[in-house]
Structure 1
Amino acid sequence: MHTMWKGSISFGLVNIPVKLHAATEDKDVKFRSLHEKCHTPIKYEKICPSCEQEVEAKEIVKGYEVAKGKFVVIEESELKELKGGGEEKAVEIIDFIKLQEIDPIYFNKSYYMSPDGGGKAYSLLRKALTTSEKVGIAKIMIRSKEQLAVIRVFANTLLMETIHFPDEVRKASEVPNIPSADNVSKKEIDTAILLIDQLTTTFQPEAYQDDFRLRVLELVEAKRTGKELVTVKEKAPVTEMNDLMAALQASIDRTKPQADKKPATKKKKTTKATKAK
């Protein structure tokens, strides 16, 4: 499993070296955008609309838009200074709470945590969380963004789940057209509850699947085995001869209209001797 972060967890005076691994993966069917004419993958280039030229990564700086078309430029060195101690690969557990106190709307992404040489300390935290039935609240810096996180035990493994800060969760009161009262009859409620009871079961994740993704993959396989494949049209290698021939042909094409014109009839010169006759 790929290691995406290395650092340590600390609670009190206990320090636990750990590695971070993504606990989930995106299995969406990904399509490439092709040119319909030749089936070549489309390139996406970073173009400056003002200079009308491609911009290299080293020429790009960060800017925060304070008004329409007006930006404050922030240097990487300034951001690094603001991170301070957060730049260090450390996760400090600042509080312990009950997991039930966190609404699922706050959860963002999950990461497995494996010990990086501190097996005993890792086991200590895992056992303490399990026995106390608590989870740890911590802060961590991932990809230049400070994250609030929950550290808990999942399948005998420490799991870190990043959670949204309160100001990142939109207020439910701002959702439009929500009815203020339940204008339903008792019979309707009883029928709905009966239906819920009939459909109630224990949660078994393996019982659910992405049917649309599977249908797309079946379609891809059917086209592949049926030889409905398209091939990228190979670009002819550019050589000096090709360039020369193209230039010569362009020159010929450019002069063709002039060659097709009939030459103007020359007038005979009139001399004094001719006039005298």
Structure 2
Amino acid sequence: MRAIWKGAVSFGLVNVPVRLFSATENHDVQFRQVHEKDGGRIRYKRVCAIDGEEVPYSDIAKGYEAADGQMVVLSDEDMRSLPSRSTKEISIEKFVPSEQIDPLLFDKSYYLEPDKTGLKPYVLLRDALEKADRMALVTVSVRSRMTLAVLRVRDGVIVLQTLLWADEVRAPEFESLSEETHATAKELAMASSLVDSLSGDYVPDEFEDDYSEAVEALVASKIEGGEITATPEAEGEETEVVDLLAALQRSVDKAKAAKAGPAATAGATDDASSDDAATGAKKSTAKKSAAKKSTTGTTKTAAKKTAAKKSTSGTVTKKAATKKAS
């Protein structure tokens, strides 16, 4: 496992250095949305609801929708002004009886592992929690936002379990469940008998996720039977590559044109000017500069070598662009 947070448990005057690890992982079956005809993945674009234009990540801000539907856009500066805590401390506020914490409040679970230097105080806190049969109510800031949590012991390891805030638990308001409705004595006796007949201990390994196993078996059988859809390369991705090549080519042409200005041709000789005039209609602006630098009577190969030397930056740029496009 990989630690996602490092800090310390503040236990009176004692600090216990610890590392935080996720205690659970999701094994739920994950499906992809694909085009039934060819198996291509369905992609979603970030499109503005007002102008219909696709919006890049750099132009996306956080917005808060008020109760009346009005949207308030919050800048990065606004977000920095909000209260946050970046301390690396799990501060124990009080020790509460375990039965006072409704399991409905439990959110995410993490294991706490002590550093080598904090092993003894870690064991002290663990044993004290087990002996008192209480949970330590703590405040902690894992991702800049402070939250409530509890420390409890499971299989000899201290577990940090974050809690929902009180207003995040909905009140069960069901008119059909009135206080006057109760089971009769006979019905209750029969139900109690059924409970007794089904009583037992909870053994996690007795239960399996048969749905996930069935999906894996189904997929394996289709692969063995050759029922696999060969997904071609998306056309949109090819268009992006072509557009990138075009943009790079324009950049190269622009760089060549800039180097063909007066500053680049100030050192050209008068004899080379006549050669430049003869070939100007057929060659690019960058090659004009190279022709001006060549002497009368040189071969076509020598002129090309001179052009390569005088347009080094443009050539390097073009090669780099070609490699990136590949």
Q: Is residue 72 of structure 2 the alignment partner of residue 72 of structure 1?
A: yes
Whole-angstrom distance in 2 between the partners of 1:184 and 1:132:
38
Counterpart residue number, 2:147: 147
Q: What is the one-letter code of the residue matched to 1:53? A: E
Give the 3 Å change call, closer, same or farther, for CA 80–132 of structure 1 in structure 2. Answer: farther
Whole-angstrom distance in 2 between the partners of 1:68 and 1:231:
49
SS at match of 1:196: helix
Counterpart residue number, 2:112: 113
The structural deviation recorded for 1:103 is 1.4
Written as runs of structure 1 = structure 2, the 5 A alignment for 1:74-93 is: 74-84=74-84, 86-93=85-92
Task: Specify every segment of 5 or more residues in structure 2 that has no aligned partner in the other structure, as ranges.
Answer: 243-326
For residues 52-86 of structure 1, what are the alpha-carbon distances to aligned partners after superposition, in whole Å with 9 as ceiling and x for unaligned? 222222222222111444122333344334334x2
Whole-angstrom distance in 2 between the partners of 1:157 and 1:109:
16
Q: What is the one-letter code of the residue matched to 1:58? A: S
The structural deviation recorded for 1:32 is 0.7
Q: Could you say which structure has the higher helix fraction?
A: 2
Whole-angstrom distance in 2 between the partners of 1:122 and 1:216:
43
Q: CA RMSD in A?
A: 2.3
Whole-angstrom distance in 1 between the partners of 2:4 and 2:33:
29
Written as runs of structure 1 = structure 2, the 5 A alignment for 1:194-205 is: 194-205=193-204
Asked if structure 1 preserves the Cα contact closer than 8 Å seen for 2:90 and 2:139, the reply is yes
SS at match of 1:130: helix
Whole-angstrom distance in 1 between the partners of 2:3 and 2:163:
21
Counterpart residue number, 1:15: 15
The structural deviation recorded for 1:180 is 2.5
Whole-angstrom distance in 1 between the partners of 2:123 and 2:113:
11
Whole-angstrom distance in 1 between the partners of 2:175 and 2:225:
50
Q: Is residue 218 of structure 2 the alignment partner of residue 219 of structure 1?
A: yes
Whole-angstrom distance in 2 between the partners of 1:68 and 1:217:
47
Q: What is the one-letter code of the residue matched to 2:135? A: V
Counterpart residue number, 1:177: 176
The structural deviation recorded for 1:119 is 2.0
Counterpart residue number, 1:42: 42
Give the 3 Å change call, closer, same or farther, for CA 126–73 of structure 1 in structure 2. Answer: same
For residues 220-273 of structure 1, what are the alpha-carbon distances to aligned partners after superposition, in whole Å with 9 as ceiling and x for unaligned? 222222221112113575798xxxxxxxxxxxxxxxxxxxxxxxxxxxxxxxxx
Q: What is the one-letter code of the residue matched to 2:140? A: I
Counterpart residue number, 1:2: 2
Whole-angstrom distance in 2 between the partners of 1:111 and 1:27:
17
Counterpart residue number, 1:97: 96
Asked if structure 1 preserves the Cα contact closer than 8 Å seen for 2:149 and 2:161, the reply is yes
What TM-score do you get using the length of structure 1 for normalisation? 0.78
SS at match of 1:82: coil
The structural deviation recorded for 1:212 is 2.0
Q: Is residue 24 of structure 2 the alignment partner of residue 24 of structure 1?
A: yes
Q: What is the one-letter code of the residue matched to 1:109? A: K
Asked if structure 1 preserves the Cα contact closer than 8 Å seen for 2:86 and 2:143, the reply is no
Give the 3 Å change call, closer, same or farther, for CA 212–181 of structure 1 in structure 2. Answer: farther
SS at match of 1:47: coil
What TM-score do you get using the length of structure 2 for normalisation? 0.67
Q: What is the one-letter code of the residue matched to 1:181? A: E
Whole-angstrom distance in 2 between the partners of 1:60 and 1:149:
33
Counterpart residue number, 1:266: none
Q: Could you say which structure has the higher strand fraction?
A: 1
The structural deviation recorded for 1:156 is 0.8
Counterpart residue number, 1:166: 166
Whole-angstrom distance in 1 between the partners of 2:211 and 2:100:
35
Asked if structure 2 preserves the Cα contact closer than 8 Å seen for 1:47 and 1:53, the reply is yes
Whole-angstrom distance in 2 between the partners of 1:108 and 1:126:
21
SS at match of 1:138: strand
The structural deviation recorded for 1:157 is 0.8
